[in-house]
Amino acid sequence: MNRIRVLLATLPPLVSGLLTHLIQGQTDMEVVDAVSEPVQLLLAVKDTRAQVVIVPLPGSGEIPGICSHLLAEFPDLLILALSLSGDSGFIYTAERVVEAPVNNILKAIRLAERSSTFPSRD
């Protein structure tokens, strides 16, 4: 079985540790890396062949700036942006934005992996 390759990016250490622990217990996904600096992100996605990247959602609710660069370089990549307060999240792809179920991070990752089945948020 192919596992969903998850990359954690620019998250606070506590959040990154919690997500790593949560994902490690799953048979269908794995954390392939965790980077703390945005400049490391493009190279890490390429090196790890990540399918899903989890980043913090900026307070403005807008797409994190690095995401535009990632999606331009890796159009099949799925980005899960989570608010650190835990009250909102979004899945970004090259073609659409979908609200993510933040009450269940694992479900959000699995939905992100299959996001082409979601309607766009128009």
Helix H or strand E segment including 52: strand 52-56
On whether the CB atoms of residues 35 and 7 are closer than 8 A, the answer is: yes
Other Cβ atoms within 10 Å of 120 Cβ, number = 9
CATH number of 4-102: 3.40.50.2300
At 23, list the tokens: 């994902």
Per-residue pLDDT of 46-99, as tens digits, reads 999 999 999 988 776 566 777 888 999 999 899 998 887 777 888 888 888 888
According to the model, what pLDDT value does residue 120 have? 41
Domain ranges of the chain: 4-102
According to the model, what pLDDT value does residue 21 have? 95
Other Cβ atoms within 10 Å of 88 Cβ, number = 13
Q: Could you tell me which residue, 12 or 108, shows the higher pLDDT? A: 12
39 pLDDT higher than 60: yes
Evaluate if pTM is beyond 0.75.
Answer: yes
101 pLDDT higher than 80: no
Helical H runs in 1-122?
13-24, 38-48, 65-73, 105-113
